[in-house]
Amino acid sequence: MTNLTQSKDEQALVNLANQVLPAGGFGNLSSNVVIREGKGGRVWDVSGNEYVDYLLGSGPMLIGHGHPDVLAAIQEQVARGTTFFANNEHGIRLAAEIIDAVACAEKIRFVSTGSEATFYAMRLARAHRKRDCILKFEGGYHGMSDYALMSMAPKRPGNFPQATPDSAGIPQRIRDEVLIAPFNDAEMAASLIREHQDNLGGIIVEPFQRLLRPTPGFLETLRELASEFGIPLIFDEVVTGFRFAYGGAQAYYGVTPDICALGKVIGGGFPLAAIAAKEEFMVHFDKNAVAEGEFMPQIGTLSGNPVAAVAGLATLDILKQPEIYDGLFATGKRLMQGLESILKDAGVEAQVIGEPPLFDVFFTSGGLSDYRGMQGNDAGKAARFNATLREQGILKGDSKFYVSVAHDDADVEKTLTAFEIAVKTV
Ligand SMILES: Cc1ncc(COP(=O)(O)O)c(C=O)c1O
C-alpha cells in the first residue's frame, strides 16, 4: 500500500519533462518524482510528500539540506557577487583547508565536477609519466570522460585486461589505452602492472569501489607497485573525500595515493570539485615551472567559484566539529544492523555491505568483492525493495544509501519501520 499521492502539478511537470528531456530526466534518478525542497535529512516533492533523504543529492549534502551556517555564508557571498574568474579569497582558503586535511594534497586545482577532476587526474598522471595507458578496475566509476567510461558497467564483461566501452561515441583508440583489472584482486593487478609497466601512465581506483570495501592488502599492493615502477597512483575520492573521515578514504584506509580527485562534499551542494596531488605532479599546471611539452593548461569559467567555495568551507567547518564522524558512523551502523536483522528474521538471502556513511543491501548469498560478484544481486528484489521504500517515504538511489550527519533518531525509526515493510515485499 502506498502512502504517496501525486498532485496534478507534479504530474504536469513529469509530463513536461518527458517532452523536453531525453528519457524525461536529467540522466540521474528515475524521472517520476520532482523534488521541491530539502531541509536537514528530509526532502519534499512537488506534491508535498515527505521523504527521509538517503539520496543526499548523490552525496554532496553530507551535513543535510539548508544548514543555517551554509545558508548564511552563501547569502553573504551572493550579495557580493557570484563569480569573478579571477582568484577569490574563499577559493584560496578552501584550497588551504583541503591541503591541511588530505594526505596526498600539497597543491590543488579546482574544477566544477567530479568527472572533470578524474579526467584531469588521469591526464596529469599521463603527462607526468609520459605514457598513455591507464589501469582501471572493472565496475569503477570515474565520471563521464572517454577514459573513465571503460568497463564501468559492462553487460557482457570481457576477458581481463580488455576494456569494454560503456558509451557510444568513444574512439576505438581510447579503448586500447585502458587496461581493466578486477577490483580487490591484488595478484591479478600486480601481474598486469608488472607486465605493462612500460606503457602505464597511471592507475586509477576508487579506494572504496561503489559499495565494495578494499580487501586488506589490496590498496597497499597498488601503492607498493606504483612506487616500485614510478607509476602515478590516483584515488578517486569524489565519493569518499571528507565522508569516511575528514582526511577521506586515504586517511580511513591508511594508504596515500600520488594524486586524488575530490568532489561532492567539498562544494557544499554547489558545482565544485578538485584535483589534489603532491607538488611534483601539480607542477605540470604551472607553465613557468615545467619544460615545454610538459605543461597542462587547466582553465574553467567557474573554477574556484566563490559561492561554491564558501558553501564548501562552511560544510568543512561543521565536519571539523568534535564527534561529527562518530555520530555519522553511529547512525549508519544502526541502519545497517537494523536492516541486517530484519532481513535475517524474515529469512531473506541478502547482504548489507559498505561502510556506515554509505551502504546498501544486495540480494545474493554469493561473494561480493568485485563487479562480477555484485552482478549476482537479484535485480527484481532490489527494485521491489526500493519501490516500497519510496512508497513509505524513503528516498534513495538505485544502489546506495548515503547517510547524513543531519539524520536523527526519528529518521532512523521511520527508516527501520519502512525496512520491515519493504523486506516483506521481496
Ligand atoms: C567515484 C566517482 N567519481 C567521479 C564521479 C563524477 O562526479 P560528477 O558527477 O560530479 O561529475 C562520481 C559521481 O558520482 C563518482 O561517484
Q: Is the pLDDT of residue 2 over 70?
A: no
Residues within 6 Å of ligand 1 by CB: 58, 113-115, 118, 141-143, 206, 236, 238-239, 263, 273
Give 370's Cβ-side CA count (13 Å radius). 17
Count the Cβ atoms, other than its own, within 10 Å of residue 410.
11
- Separation between Cα atoms, residue 319 and residue 328, nearest integer Å: 10
Q: Give 37's DSSP letter.
A: E
What average pLDDT does the segment 130-144 reach? 98
| Bridge partners (DSSP) listed for residue 376 | none
Give the pLDDT band (50/70/90) at residue 149: very high
What average pLDDT does the segment 134-142 reach? 98
Which of 264, 381, 400, 414 is catalytic? The answer is 264
CB 53 within 8 A of CB 43: yes
- Separation between Cα atoms, residue 283 and residue 291, nearest integer Å: 10
Which of 45, 53, 185, 236 is catalytic? The answer is 236
Give the pLDDT band (50/70/90) at residue 1: low
Q: Is 120 a catalytic residue?
A: no
Q: Is 371 a catalytic residue?
A: no
Averaged pLDDT score across all residues of the chain:
97
- Separation between Cα atoms, residue 121 and residue 141, nearest integer Å: 14
If we measure between CA atoms, which residue out of 283, 223, 227 comes closest to residue 249?
223
Cell numbers placing 388:
516500497
pLDDT at 330: 98
Residue-wise pLDDT for 79-110, tens only, equals 999 999 999 999 999 999 999 999 999 999 99
Burial (Cβ within 10 Å: 0-12, 13-18, ≥19) of residue 168: exposed
Query: Alpha helix (H) ranges present in 208-305?
Result: 218-229, 248-252, 279-282
Looking up cell 525493495 gives 385
Q: Is 264 a catalytic residue?
A: yes
Residue-wise pLDDT for 298-341, tens only, equals 999 999 999 999 999 999 999 999 999 999 999 999 999 999 99
Q: How far is the CA of 118 from the centre of ligand 1 (A)?
A: 8
**Residue type, position 189, single letter:** A
Contacts of 400 (CB under 8 A, 6+ apart): 54, 211, 358, 359, 360
Q: How far is the CA of 274 from the centre of ligand 1 (A)?
A: 12
The closest residue, in CA terms, to atom 16 on ligand 1 is 239
Burial (Cβ within 10 Å: 0-12, 13-18, ≥19) of residue 29: middle
Pocket test for ligand 1, best of 264, 275, 305 (most atoms within 8 A of CB): 264
CB 18 within 8 A of CB 30: no
CB 412 within 8 A of CB 335: yes
CB 330 within 8 A of CB 172: no
